[in-house]
Structure 1
Amino acid sequence: MISPVIPEDSRFESDPDEVLGDNHGLPAGWEVVPPDPADRFTVARLTHLLRAHERQGRGWAGSGVDDVLVEVSEHGLRTRENVVVRDPEGEIRAWGSVHDRSVGRMLFVHIVERGLDDDVAARCSDVLVEWAVGQAQAVGAARGLETQQIDTGAFQDDERQHAWLAGAGFERVRTWWQMTRPVTPEEAALAESPDHWEKDGVVFRLVRRSGSGLPDEDDLREVHEVLEGAFVDHFNSSEETFEEFLHRLREDPGHRWDHWWLAELTDGDAPQPVGALIGTVSESSSGPDGSYVSYLGVLEAARGRGVAKGLLATIISDAATRGRDRVGLEVDADSPTGAAGLYTSMGWTTKYVTESWHRDVRVSPA
């Protein structure tokens, strides 16, 4: 098993003053500073802000401490950067996070406390966007790009967020259906074994494990290559190295190696990998856990062979075997592939809707 290789140094600017300058336009006594991930009160406050943001935007909160730590922990600081806005009493009122996701694509998380005075809240939003633009220029320059995309999301009904993003030059570019499907114990029989089964000349199997329990590197590379090939023509696809891909997936709080599957055609001289599914665990504090389809991809040459349907049956069977009660996934509502029709036919329904908003930033010459 290889050790993921990520940049030795962050491509971001760690000092907010270098990005924003001294005049950030906030009320007297307010400041923009990096958060301290080792401070449990800071992590608790960020978790509170995130959950309140979710409740306001979609009606319920799902994130927890682990999701915040993915963004702010020391482990991820070579590919991420964070700032918080503090009031004169030191209370965190807003939080911004950027992630050097892949070539030309920088993710941006943008959260401002609900209930703040409208003018102050809007200025907090402006500051976070200004900071993100500066970070986009920094990471784009480090990657040698002329233009760097900022990719941020919003809940479909979050009108405050929409107004801020539109006013800051972002464009709404895509809609995503966040879907879920109930799982019953009887559905364990959908696959002979979720570890390994075969149907119509296609084998569905977990990635192999070595004697140490770690996954086989060749299998992991096959998963990466299949997904890169499957998504090459999809919306906003961008190149991601194997090392970047592996590092990012392992950061997910729900990551488990025994949730990675390959699909292989067996009607040739040797098995041919043509599909891959990466699942994660959706933990619950009030009931059974669920499973989540983080990635599902099938190479174009193998479409129509039942590969996607078989992989979905595999994770449903696996979830039922583990005593879980649901499987979630995200689908591009505007995709021409017809994936939404497959999911609907297999019992998925839309739970809530999110949107992608983009802004392209011109990168200043080095």
Structure 2
Amino acid sequence: MSWPEGIDVRPIGKGDVEAWAALIAAKEKVDQTGENYGSEDLAEELGDPGLDLARDTIALWADGRMIGYGKAEVSPTIIDVDRVRTEGAIDPEWRRRGLGTTLMHWLIQRAGELHTEHHPDAPGEVRTGANSTNVGADRMLKKLGFTEQRYFFDMRRPLDQPVPEVALPDGLRLVGFDPSYDEALRLTHNEVFRDHWGTTPKEPDEWRIWFTGSRTFRPAVSYLLLDGETIATYVLSYEWDADTAVTGVREVYIGGVGTRREYRGRGLARAVLAKVMTEAAQAGYQRAGLGVDADNPTGALGLYERLGYTVHAKTISYRLPL
């Protein structure tokens, strides 16, 4: 890649998390995506054993500060298509100089290498996302050949509003998350999302890092609905301290909701969500948030709307065939 004179380019190092967090904070002030990350959150991302920092990450530096970054990740397992995930950003002060396009070329190249190394026999594509209001990103990605593929809604609900009471069916019991259920929960999640677009089965290490082992996971407001010892429905909750520091609003983020196929259509997810929101409000959370695929085949969007959630923002998922 040809970078402008004065730009230092190297992989992201574990000692760079403070500079990385400052870059993301500068980006968020302009882009207003609703996502804030502290240095500890980013350090956790760099601890992913599946991420080769030297080859899968890139940082752009100028005048002693990070002004851009990129990251490419491949799933250890796939179902239909090898969707190599990419993300990146350029500091607003350095935009419209061609850095974003050059960075995206780097990410496309690295995505192709990861695809060849890990899943060469499957169809491959580069996947990236941008907020629907980011006109500049949309224009750049489409010039590079990306097309819109999927739409995701960020939804929110104030917790000072009454939460509906939802009765549980006889024979089922609601329990708080306990580590003894972790492996059964991972297998349940894989079963629930086996035909959900863009989702791949989670291996044990991946599950522990990003789901129940993350520093953002909040087991005290995460619940499982059991039929005997079978997990029928689950709701997993998370909290980002960096969001609270910026917004002044303590939000419980519903990061995982799932119901086994044989238990669907009985209002079980609604009941568990109502429990989570009630407990979260009592614990001092002021708002609940979640993300949903606009084309979710289980009717999740309607479920959330009936519980009082409204759409706050839309994210577009883009694809580029490899």
CA contact (8 A) 2:75 2:200 kept: no
Cα RMSD (Å): 2.6
Q: Mapping of 1:109-124 within 5 angstroms?
A: 109-116=87-94, 118=96, 120=97, 122=98, 124=99
Q: Which amino acid in the other structure matches residue 70 of structure 1?
A: E
CA contact (8 A) 1:105 1:238 kept: no
Separation in 2, partners of 1:177, 1:141: 32
Match of 1:138 in 2: 113
CA contact (8 A) 1:204 1:314 kept: no
Q: Which of 136, 151, 156 is the equivalent residue of 1:160?
A: 136
- Shift of residue 273, structure 1, vs aligned partner: 1.9
Separation in 2, partners of 1:312, 1:94: 38
Count of matched residue pairs: 311
CA contact (8 A) 2:182 2:212 kept: no
- Shift of residue 289, structure 1, vs aligned partner: 2.2
Q: Mapping of 1:1-366 within 5 angstroms?
A: 24-38=1-15, 42-58=16-32, 62-71=36-45, 73=46, 75-76=47-48, 78-79=50-51, 81-87=56-62, 89-103=63-77, 104-116=82-94, 118=96, 120=97, 122=98, 124-146=99-121, 147-184=123-160, 187=163, 190=165, 198-208=168-178, 215-216=179-180, 219-250=181-212, 252-265=214-227, 270-283=228-241, 284-285=244-245, 287=248, 289-361=250-322
Q: Which amino acid in the other structure matches residue 207 of structure 1?
A: F
Q: Alpha carbons of 1:339 and 1:198: their partners in 2 closer, same or farther (altered >3 Å)?
A: closer
What are structure 1's unaligned runs of at least 5 residues? 1-23, 192-196, 209-214, 362-366
Q: Which amino acid in the other structure matches residue 50 of structure 1?
A: I
Q: Percent identity?
A: 22
Q: Which amino acid in the other structure matches residue 317 of structure 2?
A: S
- Shift of residue 206, structure 1, vs aligned partner: 1.7
- Shift of residue 66, structure 1, vs aligned partner: 3.1
Q: Secondary structure at the match of 1:354?
A: strand
- Shift of residue 150, structure 1, vs aligned partner: 2.4
- Shift of residue 314, structure 1, vs aligned partner: 1.8
Q: Alpha carbons of 1:186 and 1:27: their partners in 2 closer, same or farther (altered >3 Å)?
A: closer
Q: Alpha carbons of 1:251 and 1:359: their partners in 2 closer, same or farther (altered >3 Å)?
A: farther
1:203-253 Cα distance to aligned partner (Å, 9 max, x none): 221233xxxxxx11xx11221122212212222222332332222225644
Separation in 1, partners of 2:276, 2:140: 39
Q: Secondary structure at the match of 2:14?
A: coil
1:327-352 Cα distance to aligned partner (Å, 9 max, x none): 11001112233211111111101111
- Shift of residue 59, structure 1, vs aligned partner: 6.7
Separation in 2, partners of 1:324, 1:205: 20
**Between Structure 1 and Structure 2, whose CA radius of gyration is higher?**
1
CA contact (8 A) 1:229 1:299 kept: yes
Q: Which amino acid in the other structure matches residue 79 of structure 1?
A: L
Separation in 1, partners of 2:297, 2:106: 35
Separation in 2, partners of 1:354, 1:279: 21
Separation in 2, partners of 1:220, 1:334: 28
Match of 1:19 in 2: none
Q: Which amino acid in the other structure matches residue 113 of structure 1?
A: D
- Shift of residue 61, structure 1, vs aligned partner: 6.0
What are structure 2's unaligned runs of at least 5 residues? none
